[in-house]
């Protein structure tokens, strides 16, 4: 009865029934309201269905007689229409084709993927997951011609013409690191962080422009990147950095992975002077194109970006961590493809110290042909520098690190001096010293303290 009453209300709304029409239990018993509503909705939908059918082709027989198109042909026509509407930025047509594909049993994510495959095929990119069956046998190691090898273009950090991922929490230092990377790639004046060797490309390599796609931050992105590059003395060091960012004066919108923007990127890279492309961030360029970064066709987009960019140069993409924020591959947020597709993955971990400061740790999680490593770093004198560091997340660890540092410089380890160095309340330092003594980590020595063998081992475990 509730269904019939709802149908009665909708018929009044559609003006099939008069506004003062009363609800009839007998009609409801026969299902008259729901039957009448169904017929009315079908009548109203007829023009739209006719227009949709006319948008699709009809197969023609050899005798010239028209017959109804197959489902496959309808899907192909809708995909082509969706791609044309996307390139024309016609949102009404885009939604209409998505609706048509949905009625044909193609979900939105799959439709987006089909459009990418079609666009890639037209532009000569290979995204098909099918294998090649031309070769009957594989190459025999030791007898076949050697491959190109794994040359590290930026020693310790990057490969030429490959996809790199840089991951960290919000405000973890991604943009600062990308800015220094852009300068190092372009200026070729020095290495990056714990490696002193600069880019290994030949001196006559024409690629000297770092292209930064600053989509995160929208209208403020250009100014933000300008500030970072100024701090790093990019111009003085001879770096050539080109920034694509939203510009309210010219009407330029933030770049995203839409098909017109991919066309623009491919044409720019074809000029041959770009040595690296930096995308800040993955979320910004994907969501800007209406892509769900959790369940959308992320793997296809990453592979397509790799095809477009890595024909010419290296590609770095900034991305976020999970809420857990573990310093491993499982700590990478979003779609699993972010862990699997890139050949190189770096992670910045900003660890909150007990004294309120942040210690930034760089983790090389994945670099083809290299082992895992980590180190602490900071921004000093206009450059990122590796520094000695220890992790201390509570007062006890901080007091232990301070005591060890005092011993290294042969300074006093008396409680008063430790209170001054750590900046901790007096009682907190005394409590920490008593706890460390109870755990046999330190021992008294005159007016101060010394580390025991267990203390030395604990210090090594805290070392970065």
> What are the tens digits of pLDDT across the range 6-48?
887 878 877 788 877 888 888 888 888 888 888 887 776 666 5
Tell me, rounded to whole angstroms, the distance of Cα 344 from its chain centroid. 13
- β-partners of residue 67 are 59
- Cβ-count burial 242-268 (b if 16+ within 10 Å, e if not): ebbbbeeeeeebbbbbbbebbeebbeb
Pair 367, 376: CB distance under 8 Å: no
pLDDT at 255: 95
- β-partners of residue 317 are 165, 279
pLDDT at 140: 79
Q: Which residue has the tokens 């090898």?
A: 149
d(CA 355, CA 367): 34
Q: Which residue has the tokens 């029934």?
A: 17
The number of C-alpha atoms within 13 Å of 389 and in the hemisphere containing its C-beta is 22
Domain boundaries, the chain: 2-55, 152-387, 395-462
Helix (H, G, I), strand (E, B) or coil at 388: coil
457's enclosing H/E stretch is helix 453-462
pLDDT at 351: 80
Rg for the chain, CA atoms, rounded: 31
- Tell me which residues of the chain have a pLDDT lower than 50: 59-65
Alpha helix segments (H runs only) across 197-246 = 221-231
CATH ID of 152-387, from 3.40.640.10, 2.60.15.10, 3.40.50.300, 3.50.50.60: 3.40.50.300
pLDDT at 455: 86
pLDDT at 61: 45
- β-partners of residue 168 are 320, 348
Pair 346, 167: CB distance under 8 Å: yes
d(CA 221, CA 83): 29
d(CA 257, CA 304): 10
Please give the torsion angle defined by the CA atoms of residues 279, 298, 326 and 177, in that order, rounded to the nearest 10 degrees.
-10
213 Cβ contact partners less than 8 Å away, ≥ 6 residues apart: 244, 255, 265, 277, 278, 279, 280, 285
Long-range CB contact pairs, 432-437, < 8 A, 24+: 432/395, 432/396, 432/398, 432/399, 432/400, 433/399, 435/396, 436/396, 436/399, 436/400
- β-partners of residue 373 are 364
Long-range CB contact pairs, 113-121, < 8 A, 24+: 113/297, 113/300, 114/75, 114/79, 115/79, 115/82, 115/83, 115/86, 115/259, 116/297, 116/300, 116/301, 116/304, 117/300, 118/79, 118/80, 118/83, 119/83, 119/259, 119/262, 120/304, 120/307
Q: What is the total residue count of the chain? A: 464
pLDDT at 131: 55
pLDDT at 208: 94
> By C-alpha distance, which of 242, 244, 240 is closest to 188?
240
d(CA 269, CA 442): 60
- Which pTM value belongs to this model? 0.71
pLDDT at 376: 85
- The first and second tokens of residue 339, run together, are 């862990």
Question: What kind of fold does domain 395-462 have according to CATH?
Answer: Arc Repressor Mutant, subunit A (1.10.10)
pLDDT at 64: 47
């Amino acid at each position: 009865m509730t269904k019939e009453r709802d149908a009665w209300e909708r018929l009044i709304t559609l003006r099939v029934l008069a506004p003062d029409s009363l609800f009839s239990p007998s009609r409801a018993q026969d299902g008259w309201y729901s039957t009448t509503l169904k017929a009315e909705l079908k009548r109203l939908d007829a023009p739209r269905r006719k227009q949709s059918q006319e948008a699709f082709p009809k197969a023609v027989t050899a005798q010239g007689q028209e017959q109804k198109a197959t489902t496959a042909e309808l899907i192909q026509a809708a995909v082509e229409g969706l791609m044309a509407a996307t390139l024309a930025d016609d949102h009404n047509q885009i939604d209409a084709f998505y609706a048509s594909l949905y009625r044909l049993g193609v979900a939105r994510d799959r439709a987006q993927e089909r459009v990418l495959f079609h666009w890639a095929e037209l532009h000569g990119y290979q995204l098909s997951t099918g294998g090649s069956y031309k070769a009957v046998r594989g190459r025999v190691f030791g007898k076949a011609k050697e491959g190109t090898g794994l040359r590290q273009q930026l020693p310790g950090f990057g490969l030429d013409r490959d996809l790199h991922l840089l991951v960290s929490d919000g405000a973890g230092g991604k943009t600062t690191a990308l800015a220094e990377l852009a300068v190092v790639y372009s200026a070729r004046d020095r290495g990056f962080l714990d490696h002193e060797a600069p880019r290994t490309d030949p001196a006559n390599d024409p690629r000297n422009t770092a292209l930064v796609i600053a989509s995160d931050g929208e209208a403020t992105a250009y100014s933000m990147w300008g500030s970072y590059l100024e701090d790093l003395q990019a111009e003085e060091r001879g770096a050539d950095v080109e920034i694509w960012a939203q510009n309210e004066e010219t009407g330029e919108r933030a770049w995203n992975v839409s098909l017109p923007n991919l066309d623009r990127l491919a044409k720019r890279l074809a000029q041959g002077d770009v040595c690296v492309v930096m995308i800040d961030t993955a979320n910004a360029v994907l969501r800007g194109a209406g892509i769900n970064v959790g369940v959308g066709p992320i793997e296809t987009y990453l592979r397509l970006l790799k095809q477009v960019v890595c024909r010419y140069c290296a590609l770095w993409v900034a991305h976020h961590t999970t809420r857990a924020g573990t310093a491993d591959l499982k700590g990478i947020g979003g779609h699993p493809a972010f862990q699997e597709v890139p050949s190189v993955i770096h992670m910045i971990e900003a660890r909150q110290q007990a004294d309120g400061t942040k210690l930034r740790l760089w983790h090389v999680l994945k670099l083809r042909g290299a082992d895992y490593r980590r180190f602490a770093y900071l921004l000093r004198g206009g450059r990122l520098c590796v520094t000695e560091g220890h992790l201390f997340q509570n007062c006890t660890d901080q007091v232990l690190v301070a005591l060890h540092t005092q011993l290294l410089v042969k300074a006093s380890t008396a409680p008063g001096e430790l209170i001054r160095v750590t900046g901790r309340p007096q009682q907190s330092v005394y409590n920490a010293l008593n706890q460390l003594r109870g755990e046999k980590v330190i021992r008294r020595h005159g007016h101060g303290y010394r580390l025991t063998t267990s203390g030395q081992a604990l210090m090594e475990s805290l070392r970065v």
